[in-house]
Amino acid sequence: MAGALQRLIKLLRQLPGIGEKTASRMALAILAAPDNYGRALAHGVSEVVERVHPCARCGNLTELEICGICGDSRRDPGLICVVEKVPDLMAIEASGEYQGLYHVLSGVLNPLNGTGPEQIRAAQLLGRLDSGVREVILATSSSVEGEATALYLKQHIEAQGITVSRIASGIPVGGELEYADQNTISRALAGRRTI
C-alpha cells in the first residue's frame, strides 16, 4: 500500500474509538472525495490546532480570549456549573436547559495519579466566585474521583457563603429500572422527592 496512505491510517488510528478498519475506510474516503475536501480537512485540522484554546475564564474552548458563553450578556452570571471536561459542557448546552455560566475543571482529583487541586483549575474557580455568584452547580461525574472533587469544591465554596448544589443521580429518562445498576438504584431511591 502507498506509504502516505499507511501513514495517514496510522495517525487516524490514534484517535479515540477509531480502529484499523475505520481508519482505513476514512483514509480511502478522504482520497475518494473531491480534491477540495482533503484540502479543507487538512486546513480544518491545522486551524483548530492553531486557533482553538481554553477560555481564560471558564476553560471552555474558544478562538478568542473569552468564550462565547462567558461573553454572552444574556446568560446568568450568578450561576456557575462546574464540569469535568468540555464534552460535558457541550452535552449540557445541547439540552438547551441551562442559562448560567460554566467552569471546566479539565480533570478530577485523583491522588493515585497525582492530580491535585492545582492540576484541575480549582483555584481559578474559587477565584471567580465574587459577590455576584449565587449558586455553584457541581456536575462532576458520580465516580469516586468525581465525588471527591465535588466534596473538595463544596467545602471551599461554602466557606465563601455561596450555595452549592449537585446534579441529580437517578434512573435515566426512558431507562428501565430492571436494567439499572445497583448504585444508580440506591441513588435514585436516596434522591426521591415527594410529589
By beta-carbon proximity to a copy of itself, the closer residue of 91 and 151 is: 91
By beta-carbon proximity to a copy of itself, the closer residue of 3 and 132 is: 3
Secondary structure of residue 179 in the 3-state scheme: helix
Residues near a copy of itself, by CB under 8 A: 1-5, 7-8, 11-12, 14-18, 22, 24-31, 33, 35, 37-49, 51-52, 61-63, 67-68, 86-87, 90, 93
To a copy of itself, the closest distance from the beta carbon of 66 in angstroms equals: 12
Q: C-alpha angle 131/73/150, rounded to 5°?
A: 50
By beta-carbon proximity to a copy of itself, the closer residue of 20 and 76 is: 20
To a copy of itself, the closest distance from the beta carbon of 52 in angstroms equals: 5
To a copy of itself, the closest distance from the beta carbon of 41 in angstroms equals: 5
- Outline where the chain has alpha helix (H): 3-13, 20-32, 35-51, 86-95, 122-128, 144-158, 182-190
To a copy of itself, the closest distance from the beta carbon of 110 in angstroms equals: 17
What's the Cα-to-Cα distance from 169 to each of 48, 61, 139, rounded to whole Å? 34, 27, 10
By beta-carbon proximity to a copy of itself, the closer residue of 45 and 151 is: 45
Nearest to 146 by CA among 58, 59, 80, 84: 84
Q: Is the C-alpha dihedral spanning 129, 135, 139, 142 positive or negative? A: positive
